Structure 1
Amino acid sequence: MVRQTLTKHPWWKIGVIYQIYPRSFQDSDADGVGDLAGIEARLDYLANFGIDAIWLSPIYPSPMADFGYDVADYCDIDPMFGDLDAFDRLLDGVHSRGLKLLLDFVPNHSSDQHPWFIESRSSRESPKRDWYIWRDPLPGGGPPNNWISDFGGSSWQWDAATGQYYLHAFLKEQPDLNWRNPDLREAMMAVLRFWFDRGVDGFRIDVLWHIVKDVAFRNNPINPMWTPNVTERDRLIQRYSTDQPEAHEITAEFRALADSYGDRVLVGEICLPNDRLACWYGTEDHPQVHLPFNFQLMETAWDAVTLRKTISDYEASLPSFGWPNWVIGSHDAPRIAAKIGEAQARIAAMLLLTLRGTPTLYQGDEIGIGEVQIPPNRVRDPQDLRQPDLGIGRDRSRTPIPWNSSAQAGFSTVEPWLPLNEDWRERNVAAQDQDDNSILSLYRSLLALRRSHNALSIGDLTLVDAADDVLAYRRQRANEILLIALNLSDEPRPLLLPENTCIAKVLCSTKPIRPISSTLDPNEGLVLELKEKS
């Protein structure tokens, strides 16, 4: 279905982004790991599904200590995924289908195998020494301050050869870059130009709020709310190791560069409260990222009262020119269906695709992949291996896509790098493609609605009164009024309509469409077209 023309709105406002974790999308060369040729082979699926842009998790050369987020060369492709020719073919295939392609940009740190870092650690006199963050030990010995790595342990790694520590916010194999160094800064801007020149349509910027550190390297304060059942990182409040004022100037440079290429988009991974998150939009005269990622639907309690407050508070925090965005899944978070069950995962799909703003889908959520048990001998995630008792492993959200019921689920011809979901023979793309009542069909219907109803893609949002356990809101553009009513309980609930309105049409339901009365079925979500009573 062709989207109605909205000439004054850029594609990233009216579009839907779909995240691909390349290792787990489609294997084309029988090594058990997904690759660029595999993604290219599945482009028709993505185009027919109804999304507008693809975001690829890192595909750069890497030792894979953190599965690509340890970059050894920012301007090439890891042989595991293909090469630059394969990338160009994929990009051409994406663009020929009217889609956009976003890459993951990892500016906070590189791999310790990157030539820059190898040169930096070779000598204190190295021209690239200051491209990374090196510090002397404390006078009595030990790390320069108390900062804790996101993966546990000190953020400082001792280098005996040069007698200093280097900083790493994540693994020791991921040394932090020094964005206060102008030569490093220019080198990284050249990376963005390299890919923009090649034709990419934008970037998701990894851990953007980390990229600048306190100039005095002050100790982070103790977190009085910390308990041992959460990550060691949270024992401290990251006041001085993240979200520094100077990072906003750098981000504005990213934006100016992106804007110089025309219709490009920057999505910033920024995990901060609303008031601080909103700062990353910048100002109208000095903009920063187009979309500071909003993870709140993944983090909030799943009940109507909390979700209503989450939506209201987030909308209220946005600057007048800021465009909202929402996400319910990612390569780092537990699967939404594992958290709330498939019935409510359908509700989550309707919520995500009918809220005001740009939605980002994560591969596999469209078929409702739930909890995937990873046997201890198959765990690959370094975060899980380092803190195994916390249940924070990310492998469970990175398992391969089951395409059909053939051997290895059509993902590969050999055993995949991670286990498939246990129900892959029934829960796969081909099976759901033939079922009008599948969660995949629901996603397709919702995506088609966004294309045909501007009230969903660009209209205003107003939260409205609803029965207990029901989240309801109105989307409106011009004379088109839609009501979204979501029953977050497993009991029937009254369906309340705004005063002086009645139902003109049922546009979508999370269940088989039925004659609508004054009641929402358990776990039912509806998109209704309203009309005024005559």
Structure 2
Amino acid sequence: MKNSIVLADSFMVLEWYKKNTIYQIYPRSFKDTSGNGIGDLRGIIEKLDYLKSLHIEIIWISPIFESPNKDNGYDVSDYCAIMPEFGNMDDFDELLDIAHSKGLKIVLDLVPNHTSNEHKWFKNAKTSVDNKYRDYYIWKKPKADGGPPNNWPSFFGGPAWTLDESSGEYYLHLFTKYQPDLNWENPKVREEIYKAMRFWLDKGVDGFRMDVVTLLSKDLSFKDVDLNIGFRKIIEDHYANGPKIHDYLKEMNDQVMQHYDAFSMGEGVGITPENAHLYVGADRKELDMIYHFDILENNILDGKYEEVTSFDLLQLKQVFRNWQTVFENKGWIANALGNHDFARLVSRFGNDKNYRTESAKMLVTMMATQNGTLNIYQGDEIGMTNIHLDDIDKVNDIQALNFYVENLETKKFTSEVALQMINNEGRDNARTPMQWDNSEFAGFSIIKPWLQLNPNFTDLNVLNQSQDRNSILNYYKKLFSVKKDYDIFSYGSYEEFEKQNKYIYMYEKMLNDQKMLVILSFSNLEIVIDYKIKKLKTYKLLLNNYNFVNIDNYKITLKPFQSLVYMSN
């Protein structure tokens, strides 16, 4: 059962996972100890003291289950086995024990919507339409012309159906053809997933991040969709929030999660502020928190490479405003500005050329002072940046490769432009190996890694920053240490100022008798703001990403990407 306390004079229940900071590890790219160029579990063990030094409390590990790696572990072939290149079960048990001994929690990445096409269930399902595993997946007969059952597009390009020639039926895969969707209408499928969850929870795992969990319930009419409404709207209206999704999540909570002191964080693809409470309202007994995409996708119109727009602070502020309002009184969200599916945050939202250090510090300050559970992604604590890949043969990500191949067929863009789009927004940007030091392979491995290193590792690495008191790394450590001392970082009412300012984001939070004022600059230039809303002399300066602050008669001159956090005395 979950342990919790209630904040004084507050409606909020403070479970341990709400206040704590989550650090996401992409294991293939974190630390290689076996010498095969691929990160592994023992590499995570080796770096537990480093993670502890960041003052994070929860480690979310992207999939480590057995997989043929068509989508780097998000195509599972055995939910209860370790991918051999990562190690074995003894390694995992040791990781869990040592992490717990250091006060760190371990959260695994569960993939309940689909399996690998190499999973034994799917292999058996393909042998016969009468096989007992056939109904573990979603099969449909072709249209009269022999084409797919409907016009649904895949997340990764192309149709969401693939023909099984031996049976003449199509199977559904909302992602790649190597990832057939499970049929959650079948209670045996649900029990198989619950069984796998119990396997890990009984070992002592502290929770799950649940991949695309909002897609589990399908619209069984399988009608064609209007492709003109845009892919994001197709997800919201046809793929996510299906008719039985809340029945399934209630059942999952009832049969599994409520029996453990562990939490569930759902990847909320396709949710909106209007329906999010249905997933995480305390009275719903479904998920503990939802990981929405409005922050991560605030400059992406429709989830496609070619529809990325320039960054707009007013739009980002509106996103935060929407979600803060929604969760003012109930429910809980996870906040993230970067993860394994998006380009590096400092390259997307900051200035990774002239003000990388300053903008990286400012961005994490913003995220750490928003209500919700903070998620950070490996490498962001040193300001890792996007990588430039000069040849499509160097691209690993299947989503990017599918986009490139489709573009070759449609000729919508030149090959050079398509590759530049991949460099700007492709997922490989976040998956380049962790930059530990300036040795030949960045301290990640003793051989050439599975994915190209970012050449800037010689200067941008953990070792260098650990020795620089003004580094991004040391700012992260200070910020997270301070965050532990003040509940107001994760909770509190929220009042925003300068709402229409295109360069300044400023807000005050209040919790009980405490107030916190946050001032953030998103400009490459100095900006003077005439601040007369509050008397700053009644506040103490708690955090500053520069070594000084220029205040004259309540006029503050902010340096480029400066962030200030004041706390009431």
TM-score clears 0.5: yes
- 1:55 Cα offset (Å): 0.4
- 1:307 Cα offset (Å): 2.9
Q: What is residue 541 of structure 2 aligned with on the other side?
A: 506
Q: What is residue 565 of structure 2 aligned with on the other side?
A: 527
In 2 relative to 1, CA 523–306 (structure 1 residues): closer, same or farther, beyond 3 Å? Answer: same
Which of 311, 314, 317 lines up with 2:320 in the alignment? 311
Which of 350, 366, 378 lines up with 2:381 in the alignment? 366
One-letter code aligned to 1:344: S
CA distance in 1, matches of 2:173, 2:500: 49
1:85 maps to 2:123? no
CA distance in 2, matches of 1:183, 1:333: 34
Q: Is the 8 A contact 1:112 1:174 kept in 2?
A: yes
Which of 229, 238, 241 lines up with 2:239 in the alignment? 241
- Percent identity reads 37
Q: Is the 8 A contact 2:23 2:378 kept in 1?
A: yes
- 1:236 Cα offset (Å): 5.3
Q: Is the 8 A contact 1:202 1:264 kept in 2?
A: yes
- 1:521 Cα offset (Å): 2.2
- 1:283 Cα offset (Å): 4.0
Q: What is residue 230 of structure 1 aligned with on the other side?
A: none
Q: Is the 8 A contact 2:240 2:269 kept in 1?
A: no
- 1:500 Cα offset (Å): 4.7
Which range moved further: 340-349 or 62-71? 340-349
1:382 maps to 2:398? yes
Which of 282, 295, 298 lines up with 1:297 in the alignment? 295
1:496 maps to 2:531? yes
| Count, aligned residues | 520
Q: Is the 8 A contact 1:270 1:277 kept in 2?
A: no
Which of 458, 461, 484 lines up with 1:425 in the alignment? 458
Which of 311, 315, 332 lines up with 1:323 in the alignment? 332
Q: Is the 8 A contact 1:503 1:528 kept in 2?
A: no
Which of 39, 61, 70 lines up with 2:66 in the alignment? 61
- 1:300 Cα offset (Å): 2.1
Q: What is residue 154 of structure 1 aligned with on the other side?
A: 159
In 2 relative to 1, CA 183–39 (structure 1 residues): closer, same or farther, beyond 3 Å? Answer: same
CA distance in 2, matches of 1:485, 1:212: 42
1:435 maps to 2:468? yes
Map 1:5-404; keep pairs closer than 5 Å: 9-224=14-229, 226=230, 239-272=237-270, 274-301=272-299, 302-318=311-327, 320-339=329-348, 340-341=350-351, 342=356, 343-376=358-391, 377-388=393-404, 389=418, 390-391=421-422, 392-404=425-437
CA deviations on 1:210-261 (whole Å, 9 max, x unpaired) are 112111211122224x5xxxxxx56956633332121111112223345433
SS in 2 for 1:486: strand
SS in 2 for 1:502: helix
- 1:407 Cα offset (Å): 2.1
One-letter code aligned to 1:275: P
Q: Is the 8 A contact 2:113 2:213 kept in 1?
A: yes
In 2 relative to 1, CA 515–429 (structure 1 residues): closer, same or farther, beyond 3 Å? Answer: same
One-letter code aligned to 1:509: N
Q: Is the 8 A contact 1:274 1:317 kept in 2?
A: no
SS in 2 for 1:103: strand
Q: Is the 8 A contact 1:456 1:476 kept in 2?
A: no
Q: Is the 8 A contact 2:206 2:263 kept in 1?
A: yes
- 1:458 Cα offset (Å): 3.0
CA distance in 2, matches of 1:437, 1:527: 17
CA deviations on 1:56-89 (whole Å, 9 max, x unpaired) are 1001111111111110000010101011111100
In 2 relative to 1, CA 282–457 (structure 1 residues): closer, same or farther, beyond 3 Å? Answer: closer
Q: Is the 8 A contact 1:258 1:265 kept in 2?
A: no
CA distance in 2, matches of 1:458, 1:239: 32
Q: Is the 8 A contact 1:467 1:494 kept in 2?
A: no
Q: Is the 8 A contact 1:220 1:241 kept in 2?
A: no
Q: Is the 8 A contact 1:18 1:55 kept in 2?
A: yes
SS in 2 for 1:411: coil
- TM normalised by structure 1 equals 0.93
SS in 2 for 1:482: strand
Q: Is the 8 A contact 1:335 1:370 kept in 2?
A: yes
In 2 relative to 1, CA 399–356 (structure 1 residues): closer, same or farther, beyond 3 Å? Answer: same
Q: Is the 8 A contact 1:475 1:482 kept in 2?
A: yes
Which range moved further: 454-463 or 166-175? 454-463
One-letter code aligned to 2:253: R
In 2 relative to 1, CA 61–467 (structure 1 residues): closer, same or farther, beyond 3 Å? Answer: closer
Q: Is the 8 A contact 2:110 2:210 kept in 1?
A: yes
Which range moved further: 236-245 or 68-77? 236-245
In 2 relative to 1, CA 471–45 (structure 1 residues): closer, same or farther, beyond 3 Å? Answer: same
Moved beyond 6 Å, runs of 4+: none
CA deviations on 1:88-131 (whole Å, 9 max, x unpaired) are 00011111111111101101110011001111111011011101
CA deviations on 1:276-324 (whole Å, 9 max, x unpaired) are 5514435433322111102333222544433332221112223732123
- TM normalised by structure 2 equals 0.87
CA distance in 2, matches of 1:277, 1:401: 37
Q: Is the 8 A contact 1:223 1:237 kept in 2?
A: no
- 1:516 Cα offset (Å): 4.5
CA distance in 2, matches of 1:276, 1:382: 32
CA distance in 1, matches of 2:548, 2:500: 21
CA distance in 1, matches of 2:292, 2:96: 27
- 1:47 Cα offset (Å): 0.6
SS in 2 for 1:101: strand
Computed over aligned residues only, the root mean square deviation of the Cα atoms, in angstroms, reads 2.1
- 1:139 Cα offset (Å): 2.5
1:460 maps to 2:493? yes
